[in-house]
Amino acid sequence: MEKSYAIIGGGSWATAIAKMLCNNSSNVSWWLRKQEDVDHLIKYRHNPRYLQSVEFDLNKITPSNDLKTCIESSDIVVIAVPSAFVFQTFNGFQCEGLSNKIIFSAIKGIVPEYHSIPARFFHKEFDIPYDRIGIISGPCHAEEIALERLSYLTLACQDQSITAEMAKALACRYVKTSTSEDIFGTEISAVMKNIMAIASGICHGLGYGDNFQAVLISNAIREIERFVDEVNPVHRDVKSSAYLGDLLVTAYSQFSRNRTFGNMIGKGYSVKAAQLEMSMIAEGYYAVASIIEMNKKFNAHIPITEAVHRILYDKISPVIEINLLKDQLE
């Protein structure tokens, strides 16, 4: 029997996931926050705000702004709202049987109200067992999915039968999938690479060249490994695409909103001005405060994260902070 899916979120990543799922499924519900966006989708068959070139077959996908109906009618729920709005979206949400659903987080951020990864938020708030929570990660920009450029996804869940099923649902001509059991490492790495991309963008904005960027990113993957190993000490290969691959594409790509945000900060924009100019959310801005808070417990050596935090939240000059940071890199 074919599984039914719900996608929660109306941004570019949610739109890309909807496109992927519609390749293999004809039973997809899609929750968007605004009724006007739902109406536009039904009338014109594309998202009015993001990836407008992607056209949807309404025989396969049903847009709605009724969160409860979307979730109740599905077997697998894919959550792709920005991390800053996860708590707002689900605060006080009541849905019978949510704990029996399979949840896949495609958030790549930290729930700021909890200073915790989405998997932990859904486990604590809705009593969903960890073996029914999965992660969608990997070096995969929504814009390249829209263009049908070859992309790679990693699906992580403690129950490998669930990851195998989701991998099959998302795989298509231009998307290759792999599976993992490391939900905590995969999700924390997906959060931290956004911070590293902001650092990369700041350095680019300040005029640092490719040589320094290479040193920064090689230190960044080691910093991610140190922190992840403190939080969840199991064997993992950080050179795989879910870790290093995701970091590289986020730090270097023209589509990376975190790198773009950092570049603006490096060029002298204030945080507020950079946020106003960008139409999309840079997850790393919220993530860096939460990682710093989490690290009070683990005390890992995370100099790049600390430098980004001081620039964004303590308003230390990027010139001064990166000058201090470069002496700590090796």
Could you give the CA distance from residue 80 to residue 85 in angstroms, rounded to a whole number? Answer: 10
- Encoded amino acid at 146, one letter: A
CA dist list (Å): 60 to 19, 49, 177, 243: 10, 21, 22, 33
Note down pLDDT in tens along the chain; length 330 residues.
Answer: 789 999 999 999 999 999 999 999 999 999 999 999 999 999 999 999 999 999 999 999 999 999 999 999 999 999 999 998 999 999 888 877 788 899 999 998 899 988 889 999 999 999 999 999 999 999 999 999 999 999 999 999 999 999 999 999 999 999 999 999 999 999 999 999 999 999 999 999 999 999 999 999 999 999 999 999 999 999 999 999 999 999 999 999 989 999 999 999 999 999 999 999 987 789 999 999 999 999 999 999 999 999 999 999 999 999 999 999 999 999
Distance separating alpha carbons of residues 219 and 33, to the nearest angstrom: 39
Task: Single out the residue of 233, 157, 32 nearest to residue 165, CA to CA.
Answer: 157
Q: Which domains does the chain have, with CATH numbers?
A: 5-181 (3.40.50.720), 187-326 (1.10.1040.10)
Determine the Cα–Cα distance for residues 293 and 288; give it in Å rounded to an integer.
9
Mutual angle of helices 318-326 and 183-206, in 10-degree steps:
110
